């Protein structure tokens, strides 16, 4: 009996020491410069997706540069909305950051109440871009963009175009394209890029507006009809842009990092330079290109300008599309 009491006593003492140590540490760590404890990197999409893989690629590099542990945390839901909403409610001390996407964070609040507003997302950096392109299967009877458009004109609604999610960049692209060719298509939303591509490869939908990295992965099985970019995409040099074919449309998904509103400028600067270091590495850029991404290195101010421009553009587009 005495022995177990002693054990219990030791256990309690241990716990007390821990708490005491925590108290001491608390006082000490407040004075050290940022960052002085672990940082949480929120990923707003499913594990295994592009955001997650990107985060895990960056994690060891960030830890080395910032000298603190970087912990990846998942807040999945609502096509990213849950994570971004949580971000805007987090403490703006620089210890919470999240991966974010343009145009998602612009389009979502425009369409419905998602619990956050676009200007609450404070961007720190954008590290890559995946432009969208219209593609059909290699076995499809449509050899050029014109074939597809003619068919669509003769059969409104018959041509199904797959995309990831509703009111996302993919949906926008389809709606804009619909307006430009003057006939109705059917947009079929999927819960992510992976189910979209699976269904497409199985021939259940006629075409897709796919992201460049997905298209690069399946390049043997598909025929890309046009890229929604300013210039030809380096990974597919033979494919004309939609602009060349008469449709002025530029659409893509940019991915970056954001922090909560009111985060101090010094903190943003530290994070920005960390990501800038990573983005400037040639091996990082090479990996991005191989995967079908366009590596970018846009810092805080640049991204803010870019977001402002895009917000104006999309607000206008959204108005125009509301019949």
Site for another protein in 97-136 (CB under 8 A): 108, 111-115
- Residue 139 interacting with another protein (CB under 8 A): no
- Residue 11 interacting with another protein (CB under 8 A): yes
Which of 38-46, 126-134, 248-256, 258-266 is the region at the interface with another protein (rule: CB under 8 A)?
38-46
- Residue 21 interacting with another protein (CB under 8 A): yes
Closest to another protein by CB, 12 or 321: 12
- Residue 313 interacting with another protein (CB under 8 A): no
Q: Which residues contact 207 (CB under 8 A, 6 or more apart)?
A: 134, 135, 136, 140, 142, 148, 159, 160, 161, 162, 200, 225
Give residues 158-197 in contact with another protein (rule: CB under 8 A): 158, 160, 165-167, 186-191, 194-195, 197
CB of 167 to another protein, least distance (A): 7
Give residues 63-102 in contact with another protein (rule: CB under 8 A): 69, 71-79, 81-82
CB of 194 to another protein, least distance (A): 7
The Cα–Cα gap between 135 and 96 comes to 38
Q: Which of 34, 49, 93, 223 binds another protein (CB under 8 A)?
A: 49
CB of 68 to another protein, least distance (A): 8
Q: Which of 215, 216, 219, 196 is nearest to 206 (CA)?
A: 196
């Amino acid at each position: 009996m005495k022995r177990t009491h002693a054990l219990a006593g030791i256990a309690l003492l241990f716990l007390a020491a821990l708490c005491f140590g925590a108290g001491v540490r608390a006082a000490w760590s407040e004075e050290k410069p940022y960052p002085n404890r672990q940082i949480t990197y929120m990923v707003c999409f499913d594990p295994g997706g592009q955001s997650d893989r990107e985060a895990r690629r960056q994690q060891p590099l960030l830890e080395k540069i910032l000298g603190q542990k970087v912990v990846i945390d998942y807040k999945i839901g609502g096509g990213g909305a849950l994570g971004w909403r949580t971000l805007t409610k987090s403490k703006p001390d620089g210890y919470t950051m999240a991966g974010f996407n343009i145009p998602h964070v612009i389009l979502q609040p425009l369409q419905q109440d998602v619990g956050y507003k676009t200007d609450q997302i404070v961007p720190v950096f954008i590290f890559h871009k995946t432009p969208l392109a219209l593609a059909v299967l290699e076995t499809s009877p449509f050899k050029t963009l014109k074939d597809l458009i003619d068919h669509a004109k003769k059969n409104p609604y018959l041509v199904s175009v797959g995309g990831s999610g509703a009111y996302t960049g993919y949906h926008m692209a389809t709606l804009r394209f619909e307006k430009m060719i003057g006939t109705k298509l059917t947009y079929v939303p999927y819960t992510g890029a992976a189910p979209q591509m699976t269904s497409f490869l199985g021939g259940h939908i006629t075409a897709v507006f796919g992201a460049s990295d997905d298209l690069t992965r399946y390049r043997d099985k598909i025929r890309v009809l046009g890229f929604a970019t300013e210039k030809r995409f380096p990974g597919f040099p033979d494919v004309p842009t939609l602009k060349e074919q008469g449709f002025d449309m530029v659409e893509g998904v940019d991915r970056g990092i954001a922090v909560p509103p009111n985060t101090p400028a010094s903190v943003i600067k530290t994070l920005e330079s960390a990501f800038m270091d990573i983005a400037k590495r040639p091996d990082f850029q090479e990996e991005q290109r191989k995967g079908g991404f366009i590596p970018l290195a846009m810092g805080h101010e640049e991204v803010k300008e870019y977001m402002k421009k895009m917000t104006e553009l999309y607000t206008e587009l959204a108005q125009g599309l509301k019949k």
